[in-house]
Amino acid sequence: MKEHLKKFLKKFKLYHPLQAFYRGVIAFASNNYYKLLYSRYKGKGFSCNFCGATYQKFVPEFPSSETSGAIGINEVIAGYGENVYCPNCLSKNRERLVLAVIQNMLSIEHKTILHFSPEKHLYNYLKSKTVVTTVDLEPGFYRNIDSAISYANATNLRFNNESFDMIIANHVLEHIPDDAKAMNEMYRVLKTGGTAILQVPYSERLPTTIEEPFIRDPKKQERLFGQKDHVRIYSLSDYTKRLKTAGFQVNVLSPQKLEQFKVNGIQENESVILCYK
Ligand SMILES: [Zn+2]
């Protein structure tokens, strides 16, 4: 039934707008719920670098029983933990981490940015500072964040060589079957001297990446890779190797180097993967 409804909505181009609408309603409701629930935790501890709110703790998120196996066994740094969402604005730890790095370690003034699958808070910040082009394989899903978002297949980008000063693809590559091709394309459209922030869930425990690039079995994907639309779990060392093969110079900012951002409720033990051309 669900599949029929999906097909019907897709046929009339209503699927993504409806999904975006429902996501908006859920976000609005959860936002008010958490604002109320966490009002008693207002105070010192964590500070949101998007909205400035300070709390003793943020909202936790843990993997479901279907996904916890893959994440636990492989020790995947996947965004879960005790302090994930800001109770005041619902920004996520992965957005706050990228923002902290951009604000403190990089400069985006007058730079052109290509933002894949844009996250709401991060996109709004970038847009307030400079020119941002947003893209996704399913742009309808993100229309509520940027109405000008356009379709793009990361493995075949329509942009000219050397088009952007910065690329942000935050948790995108683990969804793409031919990630080597996507990395090549990202490298091609990045300007020489440009920077790409290409965060993915990864494991430092795995010696090699585990993947089934052409799998189309959400249940199995949850079980194997920790999310129903992921096609791999990267080994960190293999991930950086793949990026280097595409041409990037890679700088892994270790959690020690990111210590100063802990106050923003970033994920424990996550490294930031900065790629340069
Ligand atoms: Zn916030």
Encode 141-161 in three state secondary structure.
HHCCCCCCCEECCCCCCCCCC
Whole-number Å distance between alpha carbons of 219 and 223: 6
> Cβ(145)–Cβ(90) under 8 Å?
no
Whole-number Å distance between alpha carbons of 39 and 250: 41
Residue 275 has pLDDT above 70, yes or no: yes
What pLDDT is attached to residue 141?
Answer: 86
**What mean pLDDT value characterizes the chain?**
94
Expressed in angstroms and rounded, the spacing between residue 10 Cα and the centre of ligand 1 is 34
Expressed in angstroms and rounded, the spacing between residue 32 Cα and the centre of ligand 1 is 13
Expressed in angstroms and rounded, the spacing between residue 92 Cα and the centre of ligand 1 is 9
Q: For the domain 38-276, what is the CATH code?
A: 3.40.50.150
Query: Stretch 187-212: mean pLDDT, rounded?
Result: 97
Domain ranges in the chain? 38-276
Residue 144 has pLDDT above 90, yes or no: no
Expressed in angstroms and rounded, the spacing between residue 93 Cα and the centre of ligand 1 is 10
Whole-number Å distance between alpha carbons of 137 and 118: 12
Query: Nearest CA to 236 among 187, 261, 203, 193?
Result: 203
Expressed in angstroms and rounded, the spacing between residue 26 Cα and the centre of ligand 1 is 17
Query: Stretch 231-248: mean pLDDT, rounded?
Result: 98
What percent of the chain shows pLDDT beyond 90? Answer: 86
Residue 180 has pLDDT above 70, yes or no: yes
Give the residue ranges of DSSP H helices in 38-168.
65-73, 93-105, 120-129
Expressed in angstroms and rounded, the spacing between residue 82 Cα and the centre of ligand 1 is 15
Structure tokens at 39: 């009002």
Expressed in angstroms and rounded, the spacing between residue 33 Cα and the centre of ligand 1 is 14
What percent of the chain shows pLDDT beyond 70? Answer: 97
Whole-number Å distance between alpha carbons of 138 and 121: 19
- In the chain, how many H helices and how many E strands? 8, 15
Q: What single-letter amino acid sits at 155? A: T
Whole-number Å distance between alpha carbons of 266 and 247: 29
pLDDT 10s digits, 67-116: 999 999 999 999 999 999 999 999 999 999 999 999 999 999 999 999 99
Expressed in angstroms and rounded, the spacing between residue 99 Cα and the centre of ligand 1 is 12
Residue 262 has pLDDT above 70, yes or no: yes
Expressed in angstroms and rounded, the spacing between residue 52 Cα and the centre of ligand 1 is 6
pLDDT 10s digits, 31-74: 889 999 999 999 999 999 999 999 999 999 999 999 999 999 99
